[in-house]
Chain A
Amino acid sequence: MRNVALTKENVAKAVFIAFAAFSILAVFAIVFFLLYQSIPAFRQIGFFNFLFGTTWAPKNESLPVAERFGIFPMIVGSVALTITSVALGGVLAIFTAVFVVYYCPKKLKPVFHQLINLLAGIPSIVYGYFGLTFLMPLMVKIFHIPQAYGLLSATLILSLMLVPTVASITKNSLESVPMNYYEGALALGCSKNQTVFKVCLPAAKNGILAAIILGVGRAVGETMAVQFLVGSGDNYPALFLPFRTMTSSIVLEMGYADDALHKPALVAIGFILLLFILVINLCLAAVKRNDSISGNKLFNRKVKESRGAISKFSWHKTGSAQDILCILSYCIAALVAVMLLFVVGFVLIKGVGGLTWNFLFGKSGNAQVTLAPAFVSTGMVILLALLIALPFGIGAAIFLSEYAKKGSRFVKIINLFIDTLSGVPSVVFGLFGMVFFGNILGIGTNLLNGSLTLSLIVLPTVIRSTEQSLTEVPDSMREASYALGASKVRTIFVVVLPQALSGIITSVILSIGRIVSESAALIYTAGAVAYMPQGYFSRGATLSVMMWFFNSADGIADAQAKCFATAAILILCVLILNILVTVIEKTFRKRSNR
Chain B
Amino acid sequence: MKAIEKFEINGEYALTVENMNLWYGSFQALKGICMNFPKNNLTAMIGPSGCGKSTLIKSLNRMNDLVEGCRITGTIKVGDTDIYDKKCDLPRLRKNVGMVFQRPNPLAMSVYENIAYGPKTFGIKNRSMLDEIVERSLKGAAMWEEVKDRLNKSALGLSGGQQQRLCIARALSVEPQVLLMDEPTSALDPISTGKIEELCLELKKSMTVIMVTHNMQQAFRIADKTAYFLLGEMIEMADTSVIFSHPRDKRTDDYINGRFG
A residues adjacent to B (C-beta < 8 A):
1-2, 405, 474, 476-477, 479-487, 490, 494-495, 498-499, 591-592, 594
Contact = CB atoms under 8 A, between A and B. Distances in A.
30 contacts: A1-B1, A405-B68, A474-B105, A476-B105, A477-B108, A480-B101, A480-B105, A481-B107, A482-B63, A482-B94, A483-B99, A483-B171, A484-B98, A484-B174, A485-B90, A485-B92, A485-B94, A485-B95, A485-B118, A485-B122, A485-B174, A486-B121, A487-B91, A490-B121, A494-B117, A495-B107, A495-B108, A591-B154, A592-B156, A594-B156
Contact of A479 (B4, B68, B105, B173): B105
Contact of A594 (B63, B94, B98, B157): B157
B91 A498 contact: no
B66 A479 contact: yes
Contacts of B68: 405
B98 A482 contact: no
Given A476-B101, A498-B108, A594-B156, A481 B95 contact: no
A397 to B, nearest CB: 18
A490 B123 CA distance: 12
Nearest to A476: B105
Contact of A482 (B1, B4, B66, B170): B66
B259 interface: no
A52 B187 CA distance: 70
B186 to A, nearest CB: 14
Chain B interface size, as a band, is 20 to 34
B127 interface: no
> Main SS of the interface on chain A?
helix
Contacts of A482: 63, 66, 94
Nearest to A5: B91
Given A494-B117, A592-B156, A484 B171 contact: yes
Given A476-B101, A594-B154, A594-B156, A481 B93 contact: no
Contacts, number: 73
B167 interface: yes
Nearest to B117: A484
A168 to B, nearest CB: 29
Contacts of B173: 484
B94 A483 contact: yes
Interface centre among B1, B63, B91, B157 (most CB of A within 10 A): B91
Interface in B121-149: 121-122
B105 A477 contact: yes
B61 interface: yes
Interface centre among A479, A495, A498 (most CB of B within 10 A): A479
B1 A484 contact: no
Interface centre among B93, B108, B122, B157 (most CB of A within 10 A): B108
A2 B89 CA distance: 8
A441 to B, nearest CB: 42
B105 A486 contact: no
B153 to A, nearest CB: 9
A471 to B, nearest CB: 15
A1 B90 CA distance: 14
A474 B121 CA distance: 20
Given A485-B90, A485-B95, A485-B122, A480 B157 contact: no
A555 to B, nearest CB: 59
A484 B121 contact: yes
- CB-CB nearest 9 A-B residue pairs: A476-B105, A485-B94, A485-B91, A483-B99, A484-B118, A485-B95, A486-B121, A480-B105, A1-B2
Contacts of A481: 107, 117
B94 A480 contact: no
Given A476-B105, A592-B156, A483 B121 contact: no
A2 B94 CA distance: 15
Contacts of B170: 480, 484
B103 interface: yes
Given A482-B66, A485-B94, 12 more contacts: A1-B2, A476-B101, A480-B105, A480-B107, A483-B61, A483-B99, A483-B171, A485-B118, A490-B121, A495-B107, A592-B108, A592-B156
Contacts of B117: 481, 484, 486, 494-495
